[in-house]
Amino acid sequence: KEILRTSYRPLPYRVENVEMNFDIREGETIVESTLTVVGGVDGGDGNNDLLLDGESDALTLLSISLNSKPLSSSEYKLTPDGLVIPSSLLPPIGSKQQATIVTKVKICPEENTQLSGLYKSGTMYCTQCEAMGFRRITYYPDRPDNMAVFSSVRIEASKKDYPVLLGNGNRIEDGSIGDDRHYAIWSDPYPKPSYLFCIVAGNLSSISSSYTTKPSGRKVHLEIFSEPENVSKLQHAMDSLIKSMKWDEDTFGLEYDLEMYNIVAVNDFNMGAMENKGLNVFNTAYVLADPKSATDTDYERIESVIGHEYFHNWTGNRVTCRDWFQLTLKEGLTVYRDQEFSADMMQSASVKRIEDVSALRARQFAEDAGPMSHPIRPESYISMDNFYTATVYSKGAEVVRMYRTLLGKEGFRKGMDLYFKRHDGNAVTCDDFLAAMADANGVDLSQFSRWYSTSGTPTVTYDSKYEGESKTFYLTFSQESNNPDPLHIPVSVGLLDKVSGEEVSPTQVLNLKEKVQTFQFTGLDGDVVPSVLRGFSAPVKLVRSTKGSVGDASADEEKNWAFLAARDTDGFNRWEAGQKLMTSLIFQTMRQEESLRTLEYVFEAFGRTLGMDSVDYSIQAYALSLPPESTLAEELDVVDPVALHAARGNVKKTIARKFYSEIRAKYDELTVAMQSINTSDIQLDAVSIGQRRLRNVLLDYLCCIKDTCEEREVASKLAFSQFQAANGMTDKYSALSCLVSMDGEQDVVSRREGALQKFYDDAAGDPLVLNKWFSAQALADLPDVLDRVKTLVDHPDFTLSNPNRCRSLVSAFSMNAAHFHAQDGEGYRFLARMVAEVDKLNPQMSSRMGGGLIQWRRYGKERGALMKGELEKLSKLKPISNDLFEVVSRGLK
Ligand code: ARG
Ligand code: ZN
C-alpha cells in the first residue's frame, strides 16, 4: 500500500467535464455524477483501464451507466478502493471521442467522523476533499492531474434547515421545490482537480463586502459565513481578505478571477483552512475573532491564514500539483507568500522572521531529527494526509525563500511571472518551478535542486581568520547533510569592525556550493566580527568550528555573540546572538558547570535590552525571552526534558531575581502607558500588540519567583490583578497561564481556582474560549498536572470528536514536555490510550497525536523503552487506520 514518487503514470483517460447533483436528506444523501471522459496518455504497460477512485466504506453504488446504457456488474470491477471500467468499453486512447459515465451513490455525511469528504459539523453540511476526500463523495479519478470543469453542481436540501447552499465558482441558478425544499446550481469556469471541490449547506449568517481588482476592474462580491451566533466575529477576517487581495496585486501582479469569493467558518475541521476554488472553508479557530475571545496571536494568525488561502488561488489552484509528492510546490510557495504578506503588514519584518524561524526550529527541526524525517518532496507515502507536515510547509517555504535570496527581488518576480506564463491551468512539478526560476534569470539551479531530495537538517560549520598584512578576512565553511553531494546554500554575511563596532561590510550573499569553501574579504583595516547567516538565509544548523582548545573557542564565540547581541545591524541575527548566549547558559546550568562568564554576558544583554526605550516592543519582548524547551532540545543528542525544564527554569529565575525591580518598574510603566490610552476598547495596532507582548514576558519573569510564602503571595496577586483588569484575551490568557502553575497557600490556590472558574464562566460556552481554558490547564507546571488532565477528559465540555477540543487538551498536554515525559511513563500511557480511541473516529487526528511518541530514540534508555512500549501496543490495534499505521510503523522501524 506504499505509494512511490517514481511510480507516477499519466492518466489513460481524463475526465473533462463534471455535472453533479446532491440530494441532501437526513441520514442519506444521494450523489449523482455525470463525467465526460476523453482519452489521455497511453501508459505503455498494456493497462489503460479507467480507474474511478471510491472508498467502499463511504460509498454505496446505486447505479452506473456508460453512454446512457446501464452497466451490469460483470462489465466493471468494484474493489474496496475504486471502480475499474475496462478500456475495451471506452473509446481508443488516441481518439477525440468522448464517453459519458453516470454514477449514483448513497453516502451518509451524518456518520462521517473522519471529517474527510462530505460531513456534518454541528448543523451544517460541508466538505473537505484535500488530499483524497472526493473519493468519499463519488467515484472519480481523484488525483490532482485530472483537471476538469465542474460546469454544474446542483445542491438540493431542506429550505428551513439549510437556507444557504454554496458551491465553487458562480451561482447560476436557484429556486424552490414545493414548500420545504430548495436548490442552487453552481458553476466553476476554471478547470480544477477534485481536491478543490466544495459544497456547503447550512443555516448561516454572513457579512459581505466587495473588492475591485486592479488593473482589470472586476468587482468581486466577498462574503464570509458562520453560524449566526458568531457573525459579529468576522470583520477581522474580511479586513484581512481585502488586504490580501491588494497585496497580491501589488507584489506579484496577481488578480482574483471570479465574481465571488466566499469563506465559511466550520467548527469541526482537521486542519487550519482549505483553499477550495471560490469557496474557502476555515476552521473557526482561524477566522473568528473579537477582543474578548481572541489573543493578539489569534488575530495575527487569522490574517496570515486568510492570506494563505487567498494566495493559493494562483499558487495551488490556477497552477496545481501533478501528483501529491509535489505538495510543497503549492504549500511551500504559499507559506512563503503568506509570510511575506504578514511581514509587510507589520511594523518590522525582523519580528516576523524571528517568529517564523522559531516555529521552524521548534517543529520542523524536530521532525527532521526523528523517524518521520523526509525531503520537502517526499519519496513515498501510505497515507498522504501524514505528509501535510512542517517539512513540506515550513521548510518548503525556506527553500522558496532561498530562490528569492539567490535571485534577488526582481529576479524572483521574473521567475514567478514565467512560472505562471508557462503553467497557468496546468498540474505541474517542483522541477517545473525550478526551471522557470532558472530560465527567467539565465542561471543554473541544478545543484540547488538537491534541496528537494535531501532529508534532515544540514549543518554548516564556519571558521574565520584575519590577516593584518593583506588586510584580508577569510571565512571558511564546510557543510554536511544527508546528501552525499554538496548543497547550494546561500549564506548571507555582514562584517563588523571589532574595535569600532561599525559595519564595514554590508550583507552579501555567499554561494556556498562546495563541501569546504573559503571566501575572502579584502581591504579591511582591522579585525572583524562576522555576522553569519543573516536573516536565517538557509534552513541549516550553523556552528562555529571548535578546532583547537574547546574552552578557548567557546570563550571567543560567546564574546562574539555578546558583541553581536549589542551591535548587529541585522535584526534577526542580533536576536539570534542573544538566544545563543541564553542557550549556552541553560546548557551549562543543566550540566552544572561553572558559568560565570556566560552569566555576565546574559546579564549584560538582558539589562541593556530591558533598559532600552523601545522602538519596537515586540523585538524587545523576543530578545528578553529564553529559547523554548523544544528548540533547546534540538541541540541535544539525548534529551532529559525534566532536567532541561529545571535548568531553563533556573536561568529564568536567576535573571528575574537579578533584575526584579527593573522588570517590575518596566511592567508598571507599561501598565500605566496602556491605561492612558483613553478607551476601554482594545487597540490592535503593532505598538499596542508589542506593548502587551513585552508586558506579558515581564509578567512571566515576575511570576517565576515563587519559592517562599511571601513570594507566592506577591506573584499570584500580581497575576490575579492583571487577570481581573484585562480588557482583552491576550492579557487575560497570559495572566491565567501564570496562575495555573501556582500552588501552595490557601490564598494562592483560591486565586488560581477563582481565575479558572471566572474564565470558564466568562466563556459562556464559546468553544474557542473553552479550548483556551483546557489548554492553559494542560500546559500548567504543577506536579499533578496529568491527574488534572485526566479529570478534564471527563468534563462535560470535553469531546474527542472535535479536533480543536481534542488538541486543546490532549495534544497540549503532550507538548508540556517535563510532565508528558514524567519518569513513570504515565504520560505516554495516557496519550496512547487517547490515540487508540481517536483512531476509531478520526485517523488524521490519531496519527498526528501518535506523532508524540515516535521520537523515543532521543529520550534516553528508560523513557525510550516506555515510549516504544506504547508504540508497540498501538501497532497491534485492530483495526488500525492507514494513517496511524504509517506513523507508528515508521516510529518502530
Ligand atoms: N491545503 C490546505 C492548506 O494548506 C490544507 C489541507 C490539508 N488537508 C489534509 N487533509 N491534510 O491551506
Ligand atoms: Zn496551503
HEC-encoded secondary structure of 641-667: HHHHHHHHHHHHHHHHHHCHHHHHHHH
In short, whether 309's Cβ falls inside 6 Å of ligand 1 is yes
Residues whose beta carbons lie less than 5 angstroms from ion ligand 2: 331, 334
User: What was the pLDDT predicted at 118?
Assistant: 99
In short, whether 883's Cβ falls inside 6 Å of ligand 1 is no
pLDDT at 70 over 80: yes
C-beta atoms surrounding 608 within 10 Å: 13
Q: Which residue CA neighbors atom 1 of ligand 1 most closely?
A: 274
Q: Are 810 and 792 in contact (CB under 8 A)?
A: no
Cα 720 to Cα 578: distance, rounded to the nearest angstrom: 31
Cα 557 to Cα 548: distance, rounded to the nearest angstrom: 13
37 alpha carbon, distance to own chain's centre: 37
Q: Which stretch of DSSP H or E encloses residue 29?
A: strand 28-39
Name residues whose C-beta falls within 8 Å of residue 147's C-beta, 6 or more positions apart in sequence.
Answer: 191, 192, 193, 320, 425, 426, 427
pLDDT at 727 over 60: yes
* Ramachandran sector of residue 82 (left: φ over 0; alpha: ψ -120 to 50; beta: rest): left
User: What was the pLDDT predicted at 550?
Assistant: 39
State mean pLDDT over 709-719: 98
Mutate which of 130, 310, 331 for ligand 1 pocket (most atoms within 8 A of beta carbon): 130
In short, whether 432's Cβ falls inside 6 Å of ligand 1 is no
pLDDT at 552 over 60: no
Cα 464 to Cα 530: distance, rounded to the nearest angstrom: 8
For residue 430, which amino acid is it? Answer: C
For 456-502, where are the E strands, in sequence order? 459-467, 472-480, 489-497
pLDDT tier for residue 678 given thresholds of 50, 70 and 90: low
C-beta atoms surrounding 777 within 10 Å: 24
Which 3 state secondary structure label does DSSP give 54?
coil
State mean pLDDT over 757-777: 98
pLDDT digits over 354-399, tens only? 999 999 999 999 999 999 999 999 999 999 999 999 999 999 999 9
pLDDT digits over 774-810, tens only? 999 999 999 999 999 999 999 999 999 999 999 999 9
* Mean pLDDT of the residues in the chain: 97
Question: What is the predicted ipTM?
Answer: 0.98
Which 3 state secondary structure label does DSSP give 31?
strand
What residues does 809 pair with on adjacent strands? none
Angle between helices 709-725 and 729-739 (to 10 degrees): 160
In short, whether 385's Cβ falls inside 6 Å of ligand 1 is yes
In short, whether 269's Cβ falls inside 6 Å of ligand 1 is no
Cα 582 to Cα 663: distance, rounded to the nearest angstrom: 18
How are beta strands 320-321 and 427-428 bridged, if at all?
parallel
Cα 84 to Cα 78: distance, rounded to the nearest angstrom: 6
In short, whether 273's Cβ falls inside 6 Å of ligand 1 is yes
CA–centroid distance, residue 383 to ligand 1 (Å): 14
Q: Which residue CA neighbors atom 5 of ligand 1 most closely?
A: 274
pLDDT above 90 covers a percentage of the chain that reads 96
CA–centroid distance, residue 273 to ligand 1 (Å): 7
pLDDT above 70 covers a percentage of the chain that reads 99
Is the pTM here over 0.95, yes or no?
yes
pLDDT digits over 196-233, tens only? 999 999 999 999 999 999 999 999 999 999 999 999 99
Cα 214 to Cα 247: distance, rounded to the nearest angstrom: 11
CA–centroid distance, residue 329 to ligand 2 (Å): 10
Q: Which stretch of DSSP H or E encloses residue 199?
A: strand 199-202
Q: Which residues are catalytic?
A: 309
CA–centroid distance, residue 258 to ligand 2 (Å): 20
pLDDT tier for residue 485 given thresholds of 50, 70 and 90: very high
pLDDT tier for residue 615 given thresholds of 50, 70 and 90: confident
State mean pLDDT over 733-741: 98
pLDDT at 642 over 80: yes
Nearest-atom number in ligand 1 for the CA of 116 is 10
State mean pLDDT over 38-44: 91
User: What was the pLDDT predicted at 551?
Assistant: 43
In short, whether 388's Cβ falls inside 6 Å of ligand 1 is yes
Nearest-atom number in ligand 1 for the CA of 309 is 12
In short, whether 275's Cβ falls inside 6 Å of ligand 1 is yes
b/e code 852-882 from CB counts within 10 Å (16+ = b): bbbbbebbeeebeebbbbbbebbeebeebbb
Angle between helices 729-739 and 746-763 (to 10 degrees): 140
- Ligand lying nearest the CA atom of residue 381: 1
Which 3 state secondary structure label does DSSP give 610?
helix
Mutate which of 270, 336, 388 for ligand 1 pocket (most atoms within 8 A of beta carbon): 388
Which 3 state secondary structure label does DSSP give 149?
strand
State mean pLDDT over 619-630: 98
Cα 26 to Cα 36: distance, rounded to the nearest angstrom: 30
Output DSSP code: residue 203.
-
Cα 67 to Cα 100: distance, rounded to the nearest angstrom: 5
Q: Are 824 and 870 in contact (CB under 8 A)?
A: no
pLDDT at 309 over 80: yes
Output DSSP code: residue 727.
S
User: What was the pLDDT predicted at 371?
Assistant: 98
CA–centroid distance, residue 386 to ligand 2 (Å): 15
For residue 586, which amino acid is it? Answer: I
Q: Which residue CA neighbors atom 2 of ligand 1 most closely?
A: 274
Cell numbers that stand for 849 in this block: 497525536
Cα 642 to Cα 823: distance, rounded to the nearest angstrom: 9
Kindly give the residue spans of alpha helices, DSSP state H, lying in 726-745.
729-739
Nearest-atom number in ligand 1 for the CA of 273 is 12
Cα 152 to Cα 136: distance, rounded to the nearest angstrom: 19
C-beta atoms surrounding 290 within 10 Å: 18
- Ligand lying nearest the CA atom of residue 133: 1
State mean pLDDT over 304-321: 99
Cell numbers that stand for 728 in this block: 482583552
Three-class SS of 746-803: HHHHHHHHHHHHHHHHHHCCCHHHHHHHHHHHHCCCCCCHHHHHHHHHCCCCCCCCCH
Cα 353 to Cα 135: distance, rounded to the nearest angstrom: 39
Among the residue ranges 130-139, 344-353, 444-453, 669-678, the one predicted with the least confidence is 669-678
CA–centroid distance, residue 272 to ligand 2 (Å): 9
pLDDT digits over 12-37, tens only? 999 999 999 999 999 999 999 999 99
User: What was the pLDDT predicted at 679?
Assistant: 65
Burial classification of residue 423, based on how many CB atoms lie within 10 Å of its CB (0-12 exposed, 13-18 middle, 19 or more buried): middle
CA–centroid distance, residue 388 to ligand 1 (Å): 7
For residue 215, is the peptide bond before it cis, meaning its omega torsion is within 30 degrees of 0? yes
Cα 564 to Cα 501: distance, rounded to the nearest angstrom: 9
Q: Identify which of 429, 131, 420 has the alpha carbon closest to the alpha carbon of residue 257.
A: 420
Phi then psi for 19, rounded to 5 degrees?
-125, 135
